[in-house]
Amino acid sequence: MPPENTTPSTQFGVFTVGDVTPDPTTGRVPSERERIKAMVAIALKAEEVGLDVFATGEHHNPPFVPSSPTTMLGYIAARTQKLILSTSTTLITTNDPVKIAEDFAMLQHLADGRVDLMMGRGNTGPVYPWFGKDIREGINLAVENYALLRRLWREDVVDWEGKFRTPLQGFTSTPRPLDGVAPFVWHGSIRSPEIAEQAAYYGDGFFHNNIFWPMGHTRRMIELYRNRYAHYGHGTPEQAVVGLGGQVFMRRNSQDAVREFRPYFDNAPVYGHGPSLEEFTEQTPLTVGSPQQVIERTLSFREYAGDYQRQLFLMDHAGLPLKTVLEQLDMLGEEVVPVLRAEFAKNRPAGVPDAPTHRSLLAAKDAKDTQDTKDAQGANGAEGAKEGSTV
């Protein structure tokens, strides 16, 4: 297997939603091509400044452009060496599980294993009928489609019948996952306890975007996931695999950060023309200020999330120009993340797992295969001894 980046116990990175939004300070609207190229530039910059992960959303409606995440990630894979490539949403509800299985296994091979993905239902209602689905079946689609996806990655030949797609008979998804190891799956949700339950049931990761909702809500969702993870026998609550989002804007001087970011906040498609910037930063994890303020705020996340494995920041939305985003990434990689790495490592309990990578998943698979072989040999030896004693 090709060498893989040695990632820390907690991974740090960026995620993008790929919105095409006018710059409120100039009125200029980037073209779709410009926005797509900007997302690639952000990924390359993320690797350059030492971040671990780049994740892209999946959207099929204006003003968003990332309708084909694996196409973009495959292109980025060819231009990077260490960066883990992920999605911040893969629509498990409206995508065919067969196509997801094929696309991400292909990406695994191209990227030498630097791949995982985040399942989500999506938050744009009209997408469902565009792909022939009923939004009222959103949770049921997520449950059934993911159950099939897991089988497609783990079984060489699949016979399957369900409610939402045609049956499969003797079907083999190709290519098979790299090294026989499926990509690690995060289940992303803002508000649906059923998705936290699904992540816990399978022992997968749970990611809360941690942007638009108060910290108390995030705490309840993560506690639910951790407790159900333990309920299903995967380990202690502290051993559950958790990821968080976050949103920051930095300048050396906090007053400069607030002054520069305010027009972007006030006109953002999601939360613009609503609560004030001050109200939003008080009630949610949005942090606008100096690098030190971002460090302090991010470290506080552990107070309600516990020790966790992945922290992704949203840096490039609301019409921010690419030059500004790249400046933000320089500060994030050079001043913020090194401190966060050191602080996250302090007093981290020994039982808390490291962030999952292809290498760690392969090592766990090899260890299990070795143990299964020993157990089988032991059982055969015991059976042989039993037979000999009766002769």
Is a pLDDT exceeding 60 seen at residue 4?
Answer: no
Could you give the CA distance from residue 40 to residue 115 in angstroms, rounded to a whole number?
16
Q: What is the pLDDT of residues 286-305, one digit of tens each?
A: 999 999 999 999 999 999 99
- When pLDDT is cut at 50, 70 and 90, the band that residue 5 belongs to is very low
Break the chain down into helix, strand, coil percent, rounded to 5: 50, 15, 40
Q: How many CA atoms lie within 13 A of 10 on its CB side?
A: 28
Q: What is the pLDDT of residues 152-176, one digit of tens each?
A: 999 999 999 999 999 999 999 999 9
Residue 342: exposed, middle, or buried by beta-carbon count in 10 A (0-12, 13-18, 19+)?
A: exposed
Q: What is the pLDDT of residues 261-278, one digit of tens each?
A: 999 999 988 777 889 999
Say if residues 201 and 228 touch (Cβ distance below 8 Å). Answer: yes
Instruction: Kindly report the average pLDDT of the chain as a whole number.
Output: 92
Q: How many CB atoms lie within 10 A of CB 187?
A: 27
Q: What is the pLDDT of residues 82-131, one digit of tens each?
A: 999 999 999 999 999 999 999 999 999 999 999 999 998 876 778 888 88
**Region of poorest pLDDT, from 138-142, 215-219, 377-381:** 377-381
Predicted confidence at residue 378, as pLDDT, reads 78
* Residue 214 in tokens: 């108060």
Is a pLDDT exceeding 60 seen at residue 1?
Answer: no
Predicted confidence at residue 37, as pLDDT, reads 98
- When pLDDT is cut at 50, 70 and 90, the band that residue 372 belongs to is confident
Is a pLDDT exceeding 60 seen at residue 391?
Answer: no
Q: What is the pLDDT of residues 292-350, one digit of tens each?
A: 999 999 999 999 999 999 999 999 999 999 999 999 999 999 999 999 999 999 989 98
Question: Is the pTM higher than 0.85?
Answer: yes
Q: What is the pLDDT of residues 57-77, one digit of tens each?
A: 998 988 899 999 999 999 999
How many percent of the chain have pLDDT more than 90? 77
Predicted confidence at residue 2, as pLDDT, reads 41
Nearest to 358 by CA among 84, 141, 138: 84
